[in-house]
Amino acid sequence: LSDILKFLQERVNNTKAFNINMARDDLYQRGLKQRARQKQASPKNQLSVSFIGEQGTDEGALRREFLTEMMRGLELNLFEGVSCKGKNPKYSISYYQENRYRYVQYDAALQCNLACLVFRICGEIIATSLVQGGPAPNFFSTWSYHFLRHGQITNEDVPEANFAPEQILYRHWYAAVFVQECA
């Protein structure tokens, strides 16, 4: 895995910048919106962050601060569970499709499927963080990490121990929906 990350880090284009100018309030939601709007948004392009109303040039510290807050936002908004056991995804893709405008407000000009957009943006944020010096997503449960790494999952891969007591009743349904969507 470390060889793959080194390979990807070498592929970051330092001549093409993805610039983000952010206010510090509601950083997670604003970061998602800016990521969705900008054409240069890619883990391949060097992320450069500036905070509105603050002096300073991004030499890496502002980027790490932004990526740390984005990873924290991903963990708090898209995952649930006890952090020492690893967290499980809160929502399935079909849940986002059914409740598309409740959780993230995007401009009407974005004419793509919100569910795919949110999950794609989150994946790009994680990839950017990994290859550009931000924190790793250390909050995944074992089964969700396994799925992301190998692309396959079965009902048996999702143990009841990963769920809070009130979630255990829904474990088999949840895993079946997740498996079906990802197939």
The structural domains of the chain, with segments of one domain joined by +, span: 2-140
Q: What is the CATH number of domain 2-140?
A: 3.90.1750
3-state secondary structure the chain: CHHHHHHHHHCCEEEEEEEEEECCCCHHHHHHHHHHHCCCCCCCEEEEEEECCCCCCCCCHHHHHHHHHHHHHHHHHHEECCCCCCEEECCCHHHHHHCHHHHCCCCCCCCCCHHHHHHHHHHHHHHHHHHCCCCCCCCECHHHHHHHHHCCCCHHHCCHHHCCHHHHHHHHHHHHHHHHHHC
Amino acid at 26: D
Number of residues written out for the chain:
183
- Whole-angstrom distance, CA of residue 95 vs CA of residue 66: 28
First to last CA, the chain: 24
Q: Which of 72, 77, 7, 79 is nearest to 43 (CA)?
A: 7
Residues 51 and 23 sit within 8 Å (Cβ to Cβ): yes
Could you tell me whether strands 79-80 and 88-89 are parallel, antiparallel, or unpaired per DSSP bridges? antiparallel
**What are the pLDDT tens digits along the chain (183 aa)?**
678 888 888 888 888 888 888 888 888 888 888 887 777 778 888 888 888 888 877 778 889 999 999 999 999 888 888 777 788 887 665 454 454 444 444 444 343 455 566 777 888 899 899 999 899 998 988 888 887 777 777 767 776 555 555 554 454 444 544 445 444
Tell me the two tokens of residue 127. Answer: 């990839």
The reported pTM is: 0.72
- Whole-angstrom distance, CA of residue 158 vs CA of residue 31: 31
- Whole-angstrom distance, CA of residue 17 vs CA of residue 136: 22
